[in-house]
Chains A and B, each alone.
Chain A
């Protein structure tokens, strides 16, 4: 297994455009998380999936954000009508029940 994969690694988009990121977790992990990290800060929780069910969403996840995990495998995070404040590193992580997560390398989003 190659760990948690995220695609793309970098995305530059114009304000107002929609973007979608993909995360492929470690295959046997049933839990999947999305976090957002801005420069000089620790990651902040966005949302959590157990298998295909989205069980928790942060208040940071406005109506412009949507996440899915069809069939409990890969996950997508979509941001509609991007704003400059959305510029950040978006991190995906997965785990099997208890314990620490395995993070992916992240997708760095720049909104110009």
Chain B
């Protein structure tokens, strides 16, 4: 099965700085990579996703890059704000196989005001 590894486990940045979270996956057939944000006491919320036919995708302050050859993908958050503080999870799936997600172990992001 798929194995997703995520680094770092914790990340502390100053407000306004950028944050980068990295994930690797093992199954070369994985073709869909979502990122989720989880706040305390809540379920994960989809913030951005990317499919394997695209190398990069942006949505305002958030971007995701994908390197299929190296089997890694990254989340970039620019101009961080205190409300970005949360746990972020990456995931990988074969989208044509009912989308069973394999999640990384999470990154706790702390944005200091």
- The chain A residues found within 8 Å of chain B, CB to CB, are 4, 31, 33, 35, 40-45, 48, 50, 55-56, 91, 93, 95, 98-106
Contacts and interface: CB of A to CB of B under 8 A. Distances in A.
Contacts, number: 61
Given A91-B44, A105-B41, A43 B98 contact: no
Contact of A105 (B34, B42, B100, B105): B42
Contacts of A41: 105-106
Contacts of B43: 4, 91, 93, 103-106
Contacts of B75: none
A98 B100 contact: no
B91 interface: yes
Contacts of A103: 36, 43-45
Contacts of B73: none
B49 A100 contact: yes
B106 A42 contact: yes
Interface in B55-113: 89, 91, 95, 98-106
Contacts of A42: 4, 6, 89, 91, 103-106
B46 A101 contact: yes
Q: Can you list the 10 inter-chain pairs with the closest CB atoms, starting with the nearest?
A: A42-B103, A103-B43, A100-B46, A100-B34, A105-B43, A103-B44, A42-B89, A106-B43, A45-B100, A43-B103
Most central of B34, B42, B49, B99 by chain A CB within 10 Å: B99
Most central of B44, B45, B98 by chain A CB within 10 Å: B44
30 contacts: A4-B43, A31-B98, A31-B99, A33-B100, A40-B106, A41-B105, A41-B106, A42-B106, A43-B89, A43-B101, A44-B103, A45-B101, A48-B98, A48-B100, A50-B98, A95-B99, A98-B95, A99-B95, A99-B99, A100-B34, A100-B46, A100-B49, A101-B46, A101-B101, A102-B46, A103-B43, A103-B45, A104-B43, A105-B43, A106-B42
Most central of A43, A56, A98, A105 by chain B CB within 10 Å: A43
